[in-house]
Each structure stands twice: as structure tokens, then as C-alpha cells.
Amino acid sequence: MSEQPARGPESTRERILDAALSVFSYKGYHDTRLDEIVAESETSKGSIYFHFPNKERLFLALVEKFADLVERRVTEAIAQETTPMAKVEAGLEACLEAFGRYRRPAKVMLVQATGLGTVFEEKRLEINERFAKLIRIYLDEAVEAGEIEAVDTDVVAYAWLGSIYHLTIRWVYSGEPEPARIVSALVPMLLRSVKYVKK
């Protein structure tokens, strides 16, 4: 999941996170032992505990890292566009393409995380709120610019997130539909749901 080799004081933390992703992917959250992450990362238990107080916090740091990566891809795509709805469309496509590129971390985050209890649910809700807010901002701008009719952008943002989430979960489990199919079918449907006609 790292986009480039980690350097400097964060390198040990990044090595631990990359190793944790590898072990969680192979063994699952519940069957993973910290000793296995120590071996994979070629660090020590002390190093792990220095950065993460327990396995749960290590896992949540992975979730946060993946969310940051997806958000960065989305904001980079949005920055290339000039009109609100073009930004919305670019953001949706970038989000889905990021999941498509990073299937292994997506599987860990979306599948392994189920059943981890209140702490994970709070983290999931926090991340959902981040992405819903991003969608909402540009939908509000599109309404103000007259690109779309007035809609309840809060409800729409969460409805769109739900669609993305459930299709991504299906793809993570089964490999179908492929991300390119999701993008080509889902994005136009979501845009039509707010009566946006691309000019």
C-alpha cells in the first residue's frame, strides 16, 4: 500500500504497517499474532509497542492509512477539474479506481474489520463522514452554480457512499464486477440521480 519507500523517522512505523497488512491479508485479523508481524517487519515487539499499544490500534492505523490514500487520490482528481459536477464525477471515479488498484488492502479494511466492535465502528463512521463531507461540498457548489436542482445533499452523499461501499464489498469478495465496470455503470447512474446532464 506504500506508494514509495519510507524514509526517515517514520520508516520503522511504515515497515510495521506494511508487514501488518501482509500478515492480516494472509491470516486474518483474529489469527494474526504480533510475533508474526515482528518477523515480517524485521523489527521488534518493542518497536511495535512504541508506535501501537496493541493489535487493534495497529489495525485501525492501517484503516486510517488506506482512507488517507483514497482521499488523496480523490482530492488530486478533483483538483484537475474546474466545475463542481466535474469535480464530483472525477472524485467518484478516483475513489472507485483507488479501490480497484488496492484490492488487498481494501479486502483487509472492508472484510477483516467486520466484528471488531465499537472501536472499529466509530472509525468507520468517522471515515464515512470524511468522504460524505467531501461529496456534500461539491454537490452544494453544484446546486449554487445551477448545475443541478436543489437536493438534500446530505442524504445524497450518504446514499452514494452506500452504493460505492456495497459494490466494492461484492468485488472484494468475488472479483465481480470489475472496477472498470463499476465506474462505467455506477457513476452515470449516480449523476442521473441528481438530474445532472453532462454537457
- d(Cα 139, Cα 113) in Å, to the nearest integer? 30
Could you tell me if 116 and 39 lie in one domain? no
Q: Reply yes or no on whether the pLDDT at 128 is more than 60.
A: yes
Q: Reply yes or no on whether the pLDDT at 8 is more than 70.
A: no
Could you tell me if 47 and 64 lie in one domain? no
State how many domains the chain has.
2
How long, in residues, is the chain?
199
Amino acid 16: pLDDT: 94
Could you tell me if 94 and 79 lie in one domain? yes
Could you tell me if 122 and 168 lie in one domain? yes
Highest mean pLDDT out of 28-32, 36-40, 167-171, 181-185: 36-40
Amino acid 199: pLDDT: 67
Could you tell me if 31 and 83 lie in one domain? no
Amino acid 73: pLDDT: 92
Could you tell me if 115 and 43 lie in one domain? no
Could you tell me if 177 and 91 lie in one domain? yes
Summarize the confidence of residues 76-95 as an average pLDDT: 92
Summarize the confidence of residues 168-193 as an average pLDDT: 88
- d(Cα 12, Cα 46) in Å, to the nearest integer? 11
Residue 79 lies in a domain: yes
Could you tell me if 17 and 71 lie in one domain? no
Amino acid 107: pLDDT: 78
- d(Cα 97, Cα 37) in Å, to the nearest integer? 29
Distances (CA, A) of 61 to 18, 70, 183: 11, 14, 28
Structural domain for 160, as ranges:
59-193
Residue 165 lies in a domain: yes
Amino acid 2: pLDDT: 52
pTM of the model: 0.79
pLDDT tens by residue, 47-81: 999 999 998 899 989 888 888 998 999 999 999 99
Evaluate whether 12 touches 32 at the Cβ level (below 8 Å).
no
Evaluate whether 66 touches 127 at the Cβ level (below 8 Å).
no
Evaluate whether 87 touches 75 at the Cβ level (below 8 Å).
no
| Burial environment of residue 5 by CB neighbours within 10 A (0 to 12, 13 to 18, 19 or more) | exposed
Residue type, 191: L
Q: For residue 41, what is the domain's CATH number?
A: 1.10.10.60
Q: Reply yes or no on whether the pLDDT at 115 is more than 70.
A: no
Q: For residue 95, what is the domain's CATH number?
A: 1.10.357.10
Summarize the confidence of residues 100-122 as an average pLDDT: 77
Q: Reply yes or no on whether the pLDDT at 6 is more than 50.
A: no
Amino acid 185: pLDDT: 92
Could you tell me if 74 and 150 lie in one domain? yes
